[in-house]
Amino acid sequence: MKKIAIVTGGSRGIGKQISIDLAKNNYKVLVNYNKSKSKAEKLKKNLTEKGFDIEIFKADVSKESDVKKLFEYCKECYGSIDLLVNNAGISHEGLITDLSAEEWDSIMNTNLRSVFLCSKEALKIMISNHSGKIINISSMWGVTGGSYEVAYSASKAGIIGFTKGLAKEVGPSGINVNAIAPGVIMTDMMNSFSEEEINDLKEETPLMKVGSAEDISSLVLFLGSEKSNFITGQVIGANGGFVI
């Protein structure tokens, strides 16, 4: 029987690859998008034509009313949920002294509040099913802290604390909660970096390369599968050795 997954921010970047790989691995996937409507529609068309089961839904996951509608739509389409991938996120670079309170709120709401809101809705179903998996996409900067990315680092560190606390709280209900902390992954999020800066990052990385969205989606497949049934509350780094 097919499992049911929601991927937030699933129409482009890492989330898109996660959505594709889940669909190819026997999941029905509800892909959430916010601004990238045409990308979401194109993804749905491509995957549906190949015979995969995929739905799309627009929701700003930092907003409670949107998140509630997203999960209502999931129940309507698929009746339940087995896997939630909290992937949606935004980055921000700059000195903390230049950051406005509004920018801080936007980063925290998109990256961290969304994880709380979506997990809360998913848990309503997962707890009564006594099974389910939640995977939160954090960042290596949430582990080590990143200069010029203090608010982003704080939001991603918040995800780690959330993951660990929630794993303890819902473990007795048969639910696994883990986080992935990617290193440098080549998506739109890296567009502000010059070629020279990317090369410097490669040189700082023991494996001498940056990562791809596939490097993260393969971990999601593992953490979503029964092969990871004894793993919960963990933060798995996928960073080429950048953080050891």
CB of residue 74 vs ligand NAP: minimum separation in angstroms?
15
Residue positions annotated with a catalytic role? 152
CB of residue 176 vs ligand NAP: minimum separation in angstroms?
19
Region binding ligand NAP by CB under 6 A among candidate stretches 19-27, 43-51, 82-90, 161-169 = 82-90
- State which of residues 31, 55, 126, 139 lies at the interface with ligand NAP (CB under 6 A): 139
Contact 122, 81 (CB under 8 A): yes
Contact 22, 216 (CB under 8 A): no
- State which of residues 3, 22, 28, 34 lies at the interface with ligand NAP (CB under 6 A): 34
Contact 164, 138 (CB under 8 A): no
CB of residue 169 vs ligand NAP: minimum separation in angstroms?
22
CA distances from 113 to 88, 140, 196 (A): 11, 19, 34
Contact 86, 112 (CB under 8 A): no
DSSP one-letter code for 59: -
DSSP E strands: which ranges in 8-82?
27-33, 54-58
Contact 198, 190 (CB under 8 A): yes
Whether the CA torsion 238, 169, 123, 152 is positive or negative: it is negative
- State which of residues 53, 60, 64, 103 lies at the interface with ligand NAP (CB under 6 A): 60
| Closer residue to ligand NAP in complex, CB, 229/243 | 243
Footprint of ligand NAP on residues 193-232 (CB under 6 A)? none
CB of residue 229 vs ligand NAP: minimum separation in angstroms?
25
Footprint of ligand NAP on residues 89-118 (CB under 6 A)? 89-91, 110
Region binding ligand NAP by CB under 6 A among candidate stretches 69-77, 116-124, 186-194, 221-229 = 186-194
- State which of residues 43, 85, 88, 107 lies at the interface with ligand NAP (CB under 6 A): 88
Query: Is 163 a residue that touches ligand NAP (CB under 6 A)?
Result: no
Query: Is 187 a residue that touches ligand NAP (CB under 6 A)?
Result: yes
**Residues 6 or more apart whose Cβ sits within 8 Å of residue 205:** 183, 184, 239, 240, 241, 242
CA dist., res. 121 & res. 177, Å (int): 14
Q: Name the site residues for ligand NAP (rule: CB under 6 A).
A: 8-9, 11-15, 32-36, 60-62, 87-91, 110, 137, 139, 182, 184-185, 187-190
